Amino acid sequence: MAINTADNKKPNSHNDERRQMIEFRELSKSYGKFEAVKSLSLNIARGEVFGFLGPNGAGKTTTIKMMMGILVPSNGGVSVDGINCHDDGAEVKRRVGYLPDNPIFYDYLRGREILQFVAEMHGYSRKDAAMRADQLLMDFGLEEVTEEFAVNYSMGMKKKLGLACALIHEPPVLILDEPTNGLDPRASRDVQERLLNSAAQGKTIFLSTHLLDMAERMCTRVGIIHRGALVATGTPQEIKESVSSGGSLEEIFLKITEETGADTTDHSLSGA
């Protein structure tokens, strides 16, 4: 089963083009003969919180790495705010805050130093970088570990520090790979609340996850990727209604990702 959408259409009016913040155009990636991402076409509008859902190995991280210019597409492309992610990675990074699945820091820099360093890399003066760092450390409840080396941070603290790094230059777009992976429920809830605050400020958020309850709580729209192909997009409610009435998103997700193994039926849901 595949649920397809009007996303696959190219924007055909000036208004459409201005509305879109992230545009995937037949984005594909092969590792040797293995197709990890298959002709992904999708538009994400400004201000959307888009959940990119998929089981292990579906192609989420590969897609995000192409968005960040870390991997070169085998075919097609992706742009952020009209800028091609492959051709002009530096411009894209000015507009995007990126949280990798496993954020890596210089182990022997302290939390405050890492944030200041990232802020200065984004062009803030030393004084402004220090102020931004202090503000974010407080926002994320890390004020008690500002002088601790990152090597000693727990997974939850590292994720929060990574998110603070992603937000430090106040980007309009956040691209987050499994933002709550490995967090305990309290830390996960903290991070989700922080992201909802960012969404309320009008940021466009593209996040990958396999946690369906989080997607349901946070996302204005979701896309399900399975074996490299986008098989469904729509609001969580639309997806639930399209497959069966009354089912949870988890049930739908299991159903879709089970059936798509053998079936490529198209199910159109919503426009971009």
Ligand X SMILES: Nc1ncnc2c1ncn2[C@@H]1O[C@H](COP(=O)(O)OP(=O)(O)OP(=O)(O)O)[C@@H](O)[C@H]1O
Member of 1, 2, 3, 36 binding ligand X (CB under 6 A): 36
If the CB atoms of residues 15 and 56 are measured against ligand X, the closer one turns out to be: 56
For ligand X, the closer of residues 78 and 133 by Cβ is: 78
SS3 30: strand
Buried b / exposed e along 258-271 (16+ C-beta atoms within 10 A):
ebbeeeeeebbbee
Q: Which has the closest alpha carbon to 177: 157, 219, 207?
A: 207
How far are the Cα atoms of 74, 80, 141, 241, 249 from residue 206, in angstroms, in the given order? 22, 11, 24, 23, 19
Is 226 near ligand X (CB under 6 A)? no
Residue 235 has φ and ψ, to the nearest 5°, of: -70, 155
Q: Is 60 in the site for ligand X (CB under 6 A)?
A: yes
Q: 15, 56, 72, 185: which one contacts ligand X (CB under 6 A)?
A: 56
Scanning 40-48, 50-58, 138-146, 250-258 for contacts with ligand X by CB under 6 A, the matching segment is 50-58
CA angle centred on 13, ends 10 and 18, rounded to 5°: 90
Return the residue of 61, 79, 116, 233 that touches ligand X, per CB under 6 A.
61
State the minimum distance, in angstroms, from the CB of residue 55 to ligand X.
7
* From 18, 31, 102, 126, residue interacting with ligand X (rule: CB under 6 A): 31
Is residue 62 a contact residue for ligand X (CB under 6 A)? yes
**What DSSP designation does 149 have?**
B
CB of 237 to ligand X, least distance (A): 24
Using CB atoms within 10 Å of the CB of residue 231, give its burial: 0 to 12 exposed, 13 to 18 middle, 19+ buried: buried
The answer to whether residue 54 forms part of the interface with ligand X (CB under 6 A) is yes
Please report how close the Cβ of residue 92 comes to ligand X at its closest, in angstroms.
Answer: 19
